Structure 1
Amino acid sequence: MKLRENLRAFPPAAWILLGGTFINRFGTFVMPFLVLYLTRIGYSIAQAGLAVGVYGAGHMTASMLGGHLADRIGRRNTIVISMFGSAAAMLALSQARAFAPILALTYLTGTAAELYRPASSALLVDLVGRERSVFAFGMYRFAVNLAFAAGPATAGFLADHSFFYLFLGDAITSIVYGIIAISALPQGLRTYTKEERVGEALRIASTNRAFMIFLLATVCITMVDFQMASTFALHVTSVGLPTKAYGLLVSTNGILIVFFELLITTFVQRFRPQPVIALGYFLSGFGFALTGIARTVPALAATVVVWTTGEMVSSPMASAYVAQLAPEKYRGRYMGLLVVAWSFGMLIGPPLGTLIFARNPMILWAACGVLGVISSSLLLVHSRSRIRP
């Protein structure tokens, strides 16, 4: 199906979902700058990395809880709880100064802010159907990255005036999305039954070896991807570039996705998913490996192009892959398992990355390349395995 035909087939409620997602993701100001914020107020690189890891722990909690809530209380209700809870937690975090409260509030922020993800993914598939899910997730990421193209650059300028503006802007955009969800989004499916045994979806998913290997590969590459919000920022400032340069480099990622991902998605959706995802994971690892030899804005922008290409190739296909294999009654929880894999990579990657970076940055960037090879190899070795719903 051509791009224009795909766009015409997109239902109005899905456009509303994408619009709300755009607003919320545009306002993701705090997370990309959390390491810089914490080091600016006096904490060490290791402590800042730990805080990002704690956010990842909240992300993981949200992944498991969000998928369950999406199937039990409905997609819309889960999104609303996430948005208003995120706004409250973000404003509270802006006022914390002692390290223990910062960690506790970072965990709560990660949980609340990421709770909506399985619900929004499941609602998108509810609205468009499995047959259009690859393109739908391409559109979803288009909205996310159109926002991300402008958000970090805006945040970089705000941070030069006051980091509090990052927290305030993040909270306001979450509230706006919450209002949109209440007033305009459909409820979506509720598939949870009282007779269903606790953990049944996880038990069914865990019996599929190929799916578990896919999740393992995703954990590996997510450890690499989340260097963008931690050690990549430290590398940019360590070579003498200003905070604005980091914001612009991160925005380059979003700009590339806005202009090219839908075209790439329309092309790759005709191929089998595992080899496509493997190619994307390899390029992501290779791109971050090149960071170690980049010292100028043009050189760093070139590395961003490489790992962004990997992201564009793999991410819509990975989400659609899970949506297509998931039984309808477990769709929210299967999408939750994918987000759990992302969360686990986020939990491990930034703390470990900042620890290695503080000792020897070149080892870190080489490890990113190795993880890219491992993740792609896992998928290629099992690319002939059929994943059963």
Structure 2
Amino acid sequence: MRGLRRWWDDTAGGLPATFWYLWSGLLINRAGAFAMLFLSLYLTAARGASASLAGLVVGAYGAGGAAGTLLGGVLADRWGRRSTLLAAHLAAAGLMVALAFSEHLAVIAVLAALVGVVHSMPSPAFVAAIVDVVPEARRSRAFNLQFWAFNLGMAVASLLAGVLAEASFLALFLVDAAATLAAAVVIALKVPETLTRRPVTLRAVAGRRPGLHTALTDRTFLTFVGLTFLLAVLTMQTSTIMPLAMRDDGLRPTAYGIVVALGGALIVAGQLFVPRLIEPYRKSAVLAVSTGLMALGFGALTVADGLPLYLGAAVVWTVGQMLAAPPNAQINADLAPPELRARYQSVFYLTFPAASFVAPALGGLSLQHLGERHWLVVGGLGLVAAAGHVLAGPPRERRVAALRAAAERAATVPAGR
């Protein structure tokens, strides 16, 4: 019992109540965000759209997501975290109801793009609010719990989506709207505004006027974003290129489902043990090892020709993903000046829609022309990212130290000056 209590303290202890309400809102949101998983099937089966037209509508949702990420970051720093979260959730619930009853494909396409915007807006605000309320020493475990909740919610969403889609597409959209509204209620009742107006500290570090352009011209931060983009390209292989490779190896779709389910099960079962495991080590070293494991796992697919080898490789790259999640999020938070916290988050989150485009677009060409050697290219990208984290670690640490020193000086400035 004492060992269990110690593990719980190391994993989730010492986190403020506001964090747990944010965490609950995120979990409810992700568990209920299943309608868009079946958007292409809904368009072709229920609305008579062609496969190409359905692809364009789904693409509109993705384009809206890229715009919403930046918009959410700007609004969270200007309006506040709580206001942005409430506006995004309430708008998403209303748009989902509109989608449920819309019949014209042009209207559905516009609504899908708008849903993409409001679905992406909360991400920067969620992370910025977590950084606002969680002490620095406990942020790693907070981000680890956030990653765990995200994956648990996605697993629940995948299961619910299949059941509801078979029963009724109308129910699929309406239940999604209800879950989104429930998350908004939790935020409205339990999450206070966490944004505090501070004296501008970034000029002391970089000599620039703060704004979104600051994040877009911050070389240290953009180097980290670029390395995260490479990690995201590796991660996207599982949902874009790997199914094609498994088909070429003569494996059935059920085999692909087993591989994906194994990764999700490992994250849900093991992610809570990660903070204590990585705590003694530098973040750059953890990211280098984790990205190296992902490179090894995907590179191993060069010789995979059966389900056992795919499962073994999935274990390796999933462990890499699990190790990377907490330090990746914490470094992102550390590099962001307090007054630009959400803007930096929005630029960081752009790596994922970008990777979701690059991975299938270039990966498909690579697989077609290189065959199994495609996985050597993917593994090579992972090794480049691992080396990049080793080289970029010291400059990142110096930048974080400069930001902390500037924030401490700003905290000593008397009110009104």
Q: Percent identity?
A: 32
Q: How does 1:325-344 map to 2 (within 5 A)?
A: 325-344=335-354
| Structure 1 position 270 matched with structure 2 position 275 | no
Give the distance between the partners of 1:35 and 1:295, measured in 2 at CA: 30
What is the CA-CA distance between 1:138 and the residue it aligns to? Answer: 0.6
Residue identity opposite 1:223 in structure 2? V
Look up the equivalent residue of 1:276 and give its one-letter code. V
Paired position in structure 1 for 2:188: 182
**Taking structure 1 as reference, are residues 12 and 221 closer, same or farther at Cα in structure 2, changes over 3 Å only?**
same
> SS of the counterpart of 2:34?
coil
Residue 28 of structure 2 corresponds to which residue in structure 1? 23
After TM superposition, give the deviation of residue 291 of structure 1 in Å.
Answer: 5.2
Q: Does 257-266 or 367-376 show the bigger shift?
A: 367-376
- Stretch deviating more after TM superposition (75-84 or 349-358): 349-358
**Which amino acid letter does the alignment assign opposite residue 18 of structure 2?**
A
Q: Report the equivalent of 1:59.
A: 65
Q: 2:141 matched to 1:131?
A: no
**Cα separation, 2, equivalents of 1:132 and 1:362:** 42
Tell me, in whole angstroms, the C-alpha distance in 2 between the residues paired with 1:290 and 1:20: 38
SS in 2 for 1:271: coil
1:376 lines up with 2:386 in the alignment: yes
- The answer (yes or no) to whether the contact 1:27–1:169 under 8 Å persists in 2 is yes
TM-superposed deviation, 1:64: 1.2
Distance in 2, matches of 1:158 and 1:12, equals: 33
Deviation at 1:192, TM superposition (A): 8.4
Distance 1:179 1:347, change over 3 A: farther
Query: Is the CA contact 1:149–1:252 (under 8 Å) kept in the aligned structure 2?
Result: no
Q: Greater relative contact order (Cα 8 A, min sep 6): structure 1 or 2? A: 1
Matches of 1:288 and 1:99 in 2, distance apart?
Answer: 39
In 2, the alpha carbon distance for the partners of 1:160 and 1:358 equals: 34
Instruction: Please state if 1:122 is matched with 2:124.
Output: no
Equivalent residue in structure 2 for 1:241, among 252, 255, 266: 252
1:304-343 aligned within 5 A: 304-343=314-353
Query: Hey, what does 1:261 align to over in structure 2?
Result: 271
Aligned match of 2:176: 170
In terms of mean alpha carbon deviation, does 296-305 or 335-344 score higher? Answer: 296-305
In the other structure, the counterpart of 1:8 is 13
CA distance in 2, matches of 1:269, 1:3: 13
**Residue identity in the other structure for 1:374:** V
Query: What whole-Å deviation, never above 9, does each CA across 1:213-235 have from its counterpart, x for those lacking one?
Result: 11111122213323444444566
Q: Contact 1:54 / 1:347 at 8 angstroms: preserved in 2?
A: no
Compute the displacement of 1:314 (Å). Answer: 0.8
Residues 110-153 of structure 1: CA deviation (Å, up to 9, x unaligned): 21111101111111111212221111101111222222333323
Q: 2:80 corresponds to which residue?
A: 74
Distance 1:248 1:171, change over 3 A: farther
Change (3 A) 1:104 1:233: farther
Q: Which has the larger radius of gyration?
A: 2
3-state secondary structure, aligned to 1:188: coil
- What amino acid does structure 2 have at the position aligned with 1:226? M
Give the match for residue 225 of structure 1: 235
Q: Which region of structure 1 is more displaced relative to structure 2, 92-101 or 369-378?
A: 92-101
Moved more, 124-133 or 153-162: 153-162
1:22: Cα distance to partner? Answer: 1.0
Q: TM-score, normalised by structure 2?
A: 0.77
Displacement of 1:265: 2.2
Aligned residues of 1:35 and 1:230 also touching (Cα < 8 A) = no
Q: Give, as a single letter, the amino acid of the residue that structure 2 aligns with 1:12.
A: A
* Structure 1 unaligned regions, length at least 5: none
d(CA) in 1 for partners of 2:293 and 2:57? 28
Does structure 2 retain, via aligned residues, the 8 Å contact 1:49–1:351?
A: no
**Count of residues in correspondence between the two structures:** 386
Give the letter aligned to residue 81 of structure 1.
A
Q: Is the 8 A contact 1:56 1:347 kept in 2?
A: no
CA distance in 1, matches of 2:290, 2:169: 34
The match for 1:109 is 115
Q: 2:220 aligns with which of 197, 210, 214?
A: 210
- Give the Cα–Cα distance (whole angstroms) in 1 for the partners of residues 117 and 39 of structure 2: 16
Taking structure 1 as reference, are residues 313 and 362 closer, same or farther at Cα in structure 2, changes over 3 Å only? same
CA gap of 1:81–1:358, structure 2 versus 1, over 3 A, is: farther
In structure 2, how many angstroms separate the alpha carbons of the residues matched to 1:183 and 1:135?
A: 25
Query: Separation in 2 of the partners of 1:300 and 1:156?
Result: 25
Q: 8 Å contact 2:215–2:343 — kept in the other structure?
A: no
Maintained 8 Å contact 1:63/1:343:
no
CA distance in 1, matches of 2:109, 2:375: 27
Q: Deviation of residue 9 (structure 1)?
A: 0.7
CA contact (8 A) 2:92 2:180 kept: yes
Q: Conserved in 1, the CA contact under 8 Å of 2:74 and 2:212?
A: no
